[in-house]
Amino acid sequence: MKFRQALGRIRHLLKKEFIQTLRDPHTRFVLIAPPIIQMLVFGYAATMEIRHVPMAVLDLDRTSESRDLVERFTGSRYFEIRMPAASRQDLRDGIDRGDVLVALEIDSGFAGRLRDGHRISVQALVDSSNSNTALVALGYMNQIGARFAQDYARDRAGRIAPQVLMTAPQVALETRPWFNEGLESRWYFVPGVIGNLMMMMVMTLTAFAVVREREIGTLEQLMVTPVRRWEFIVGKTVPFFLIGLFDAALIATIGTLWFGVPFRGSVAVLGIGIVVFLFAALGLGLFLSTIAATQQQARNSAFFFTMPMTTLSGFGTPISSMPMVCQHLSYINPLRHVVALLRTVYLKGVGLDVLWRDLAPMAVFAVVMLSISILRFRKSLE
C-alpha cells in the first residue's frame, strides 16, 4: 500500500518533469538536434589519418637515382609535392608560410654515394609544430627511404653477383592489423563520440534540473508535499535516464548506418554498458546539484569535471602513453571505461567475460556517487 502510494507520487513527479523539459521549444531542440549534428560533424572531423602531407623537394643531384627517390614520394599516397623549389631559401619559405610540412633536399653526389655503398643522409626539414603529424610523416619517409635503398641494393646485387641475392639472409615482418583492417581512424573515434555526448547531455541536464528548483524556490514547495526525498530523486533522474537512452540509441544508429562503423558485438552488452554508464553520469549530475546553489555554479562545476574526464578518457590520446599517475587516475573515470567498452563492443565484439573489467568500475562509481548525492541532498535541504 505504501509502495503503491509512492509509485503514484513518483508518477506525478515524472509527469511534471517531462512537461517541464519538453515544454520549452529551445530545450526540446537541445535534446534532439545537437547530438545528431555533433555526431555527424565530429564523426567526419575526428580523423587522425595522415595522408597527402604537403611537401617540397629540391633535387640538386638531378640523376636518375634521385628522380627515382622523388618518384617514390609522389607515388605514395602519403605525400604530395606542392611546390617546385629552386633554392634552399624556397624550401625554408615554404615551411615558414605553412605551405608545406616537409621539405626534402637531395644534395649533388647522391647517386655517386649510393653506388659506392655509403651511408647517405638526406636533409629533410620538418614543420613539427604539430608533433604527431611530424612524427608520422617522418615514419613514412623512413619507410620510403628504406624500401628505396633495399630495392636499389637488390637490383645492383642482382647485376654484380646473382648468388649474393640467393643467399643473403632476409627477415620480413608480416603485420596483421586486426579489427580495423583498413586502419580507418573514424571507426575508432565514432564510438568514443557516443560516450562523450551522453555524458555531456545527461550530467549537465540532471545537475540543472535539481538546481533550478532550488534557485527558483520551487524545491521548498516540493518538500512540503508528501513526496519523499528518494521519490524526488527517482522522479528527477528517470526522465534524463530515458532521454540519455534515447540519444544513445540515436547516435549509435547514426554511427553504424551513416558512418559504417562495424558493430561486431552484441546489442545486449552495448545496452548494459550504456545503462551502467548513464547511472554513473546521473550520479555525478546529482552530486553536482548538491554542491551548487545556482545554475551558473552547477554549470561551472560540471565543466570543471568534464574537461579532465574527457582528457583522461583516452578519447583523443591513448591512455598507454600517459604517465603512470594519470593512468591510475583514469581508472576512476567512468568516461574512460565507457569509451573503452564502446570501442571494444563495436570493433572487437567481445563479451562480458572481458568487459566486466570496464563495467565493474563504472558500477562502483555510480553507486558511490548516487549514495553520496542522496546523503548530501538531505543535508543540503536542512
Partner 1 sequence: MSWRRIAAVMRKEIVQIRRDRRSLLIILAMPLAQLLLNGYAVNLDARHVPLCLYDRDRSQASDDLLAHFRATDSFDVVHVSDSYADLVAHIDASACTVGVVIPTRFSERLRTEGHAAVQALVDASDSNTASLGMGYAQGIVQAYAGGVQLEWQQRHGGAAAASTIAFEPRTLFNEELESMANIVPGVIALVMAVVGSFLTSLTVAREWERGTMEQLIATPIAPFEIQIGKLIPYYAVGILDTAICAGVAVTLFHVPFRGSWIVLFGCSLLFLAAVLSLGYYISVTSRSQVAASQFAMLTTFLPTMLLSGFIFPIDQMPRVVQWITWIFPGRYYVSILRSVFLKGTPASLMLEPIAGLAAIAMILTLLAGRAFHKRLA
By CB under 8 A, residue 328 contacts partner 1: no
Best CA proximity match to 48, nearest among 169, 151, 130, 158: 130
- Least distance CB 225 / partner 1 (angstroms): 23
By CB under 8 A, residue 253 contacts partner 1: no
Best CA proximity match to 195, nearest among 27, 286, 331, 309: 309
Stretch that binds partner 1, among 5-13, 242-250, 322-330, 370-378 (CB under 8 A): 322-330
- Least distance CB 42 / partner 1 (angstroms): 5
Stretch that binds partner 1, among 183-191, 218-226, 237-245, 272-280 (CB under 8 A): 183-191
Tell me the chain's radius of gyration from C-alpha atoms.
29
Residue among 27, 87, 108, 225 that touches partner 1 (CB under 8 A): 27
Q: How many residues does this entry show for the chain?
A: 382
By CB under 8 A, residue 310 contacts partner 1: yes
Neighbouring residues of 74: CB distance < 8 A, sequence distance ≥ 6: 80, 81
- Least distance CB 6 / partner 1 (angstroms): 28
By CB under 8 A, residue 88 contacts partner 1: no
By CB under 8 A, residue 352 contacts partner 1: no
Measured distance CA(152)–CA(112) in Å, rounded: 13
By CB under 8 A, residue 380 contacts partner 1: no
By CB under 8 A, residue 162 contacts partner 1: no
The residue (of 161 and 367) whose beta carbon lies closer to partner 1 is 161
Measured distance CA(334)–CA(281) in Å, rounded: 8
Asked whether 120 and 113 are in contact (CB, 8 A), the reply is yes
| Chain CA centroid to CA 322, Å | 15
DSSP 82: E
- Please, is 205 exposed, middle or buried when counting C-beta atoms within 10 Å of its C-beta (0-12, 13-18, 19+)? buried
How many chain residues interact with partner 1 (CB under 8 A)?
A: 127
By CB under 8 A, residue 50 contacts partner 1: yes
Measured distance CA(232)–CA(221) in Å, rounded: 12
Stretch that binds partner 1, among 4-12, 30-38, 218-226, 233-241 (CB under 8 A): 30-38
Site for partner 1 in 123-142 (CB under 8 A): 123-136, 138-139, 141-142
